[in-house]
Structure 1
Amino acid sequence: MAYRETEKMRQRKAQARKNIIECTWECVSEGGFRNARITRIASRAGVATGTIYRHFESREELFAEIFRMATQREVDKVAEALAIQGNAVARLEKALRQFAYRALKAPMKAWALIAEPVDPKVEEERLVYRKAYANLFEQAIRNGIAEGGIPDQDARLTSTCLVGAISESLVGPLSPTQAAATQGHKNNEDELVDTIVCFCLQGLTGTRS
């Protein structure tokens, strides 16, 4: 007689998998992907390391799953900001501020998702994540061009410039937040966000907001 998995067993497996994912994300949130060692995750989840590999074929697959989960949440937040009432420029400003303040609120998470050196499988997910942002910005820019609030331009190229500018200025190696952290200082977050948003909107519209 063939073995048939019961509903109770499926629920237990699903809960165990969820627990592993949550514990992995906790480790990443505290110290990046380098902090998420399998032994540490297993200890936090209260399981053997072999149990993790019964749910995920490899460490890279686990990290890719974590990355998809975390980045989708961030992309959804930007999408929500772009869905507010108002013209395209106002919606883009809202989305840029949303992105920036969320990154500054959780700098380790932002660094892990945007800039931390990661395995190739996770890097593939990072590219998907950046494209998702670019697609959202591109549509908003096209709307702005149609409205007349944004000059005619290559919306696709401009959207990638926005993603690169805000990512680098917030968590990249040249970011003032990185320099301040190294020196034990703290940036004025409002001033930093205002500067970044002003630069982005100025590049889009050709005028200072």
Structure 2
Amino acid sequence: MSYKRSSLMQERMEQNRKAILSSARNLISEGGFKDAQIQTIAEQAGVSSGLVYRYFDNKSQVLIEVLSEAINTELLVIDAITESDLPAEQKLHKAVATFVKRALNSPQLAYSLMFEPVDSTVEHERFRVKQLIKRSVIKILADGNASGEFVLEDLNTTALCVVGAMTFVVVEPLDPAQNTKFDQQHKDYFSKQIADFCVDAVRRKQA
């Protein structure tokens, strides 16, 4: 009987935690980090602010968890492309274009998670996230070297340049202050332009 109570309690705790993170993500998606205050997060999650602090020490920990969950989803998408049977050039193009397009599909969330001013603990998590993306890009570049599509001596630096391009390039279109409107055609065009740029930068040049 005590085991059953313990199991039910564990399930309820997990549901509360998921509700808190879902509430935080929705608030960030609508108005950025500034709108994701503990009291507001709690109200939307249907819990007390005190309960939020039972799961997270502060707002930064909530934001880090939201960022971590979001990037894990993106990494699954990129890694599926990385592990596909496509040639390396196509893998790189698809990975970059997909990342940019998905960011444009959730502009406020993407801007907040990548660029909105934050404290050092969240900024450190952002750095870790870029390292994970870089790891996937290095795998694609190594495949390209092995197939002869690329001839790259420094995979790490090249991957850093690609990650910089695919993330920093969306600052302007994602910035809420710019009020940039992208229809699907423009999203496709913009993401293709960035992917073309990255592939052209690493493609083996004909003698």
* 1: CA distance, partners of 2:174 / 2:49: 34
Amino acid at match of 2:55: H
1:184 Cα deviation from its structure 2 partner: 5.4
1:18 Cα deviation from its structure 2 partner: 1.3
Segments of structure 2 that go 5 or more residues without pairing to the other structure are none
Amino acid at match of 1:101: K
* Matched residue, 1:157: 157
Alpha-carbon spacing, 1:186–1:21, altered in 2? closer, same or farther (3 Å): closer
* 2: CA distance, partners of 1:65 / 1:206: 40
Amino acid at match of 1:49: S
* 2: CA distance, partners of 1:99 / 1:54: 34
Amino acid at match of 2:19: N
Amino acid at match of 2:178: T
Residues 61-118 of structure 1, C-alpha deviations (whole Å, 9 max, x = no match): 1211111111111111111122221211111111111111101111112112211111
Partner SS, residue 63 of structure 1:
helix
1:8-157 alignment runs, 5 A limit: 8-157=8-157
- Kindly indicate whether structure 1 or structure 2 has the higher relative contact order, using CA contacts under 8 Å at least 6 residues apart: 2
CA contact (8 A) 1:71 1:129 kept: yes
CA contact (8 A) 1:82 1:94 kept: no
Structure 1 vs Structure 2 CA RMSD? 2.2
Number of positions where the alignment pairs a residue of Structure 1 with one of Structure 2: 201
Residues 18-70 of structure 1, C-alpha deviations (whole Å, 9 max, x = no match): 11111111111112222201111111111211111111121111211111111
1:124 Cα deviation from its structure 2 partner: 1.3
Partner SS, residue 6 of structure 1:
helix
Segments of structure 1 that go 5 or more residues without pairing to the other structure are none
Amino acid at match of 1:135: R
Amino acid at match of 1:76: L
Alpha-carbon spacing, 1:31–1:207, altered in 2? closer, same or farther (3 Å): farther
TM-score by length of 2: 0.89
1:178 Cα deviation from its structure 2 partner: 4.9
TM-score by length of 1: 0.88
Moved runs in structure 1, 4+ residues, more than 6 A? Answer: none
CA contact (8 A) 2:42 2:48 kept: yes
1:150 Cα deviation from its structure 2 partner: 0.6
* 2: CA distance, partners of 1:17 / 1:73: 18
1:183 Cα deviation from its structure 2 partner: 5.8
CA contact (8 A) 1:88 1:144 kept: yes
* Matched residue, 2:178: 182
Partner SS, residue 47 of structure 2:
coil
* 1: CA distance, partners of 2:62 / 2:179: 34
* 2: CA distance, partners of 1:178 / 1:120: 22
CA contact (8 A) 1:180 1:186 kept: no
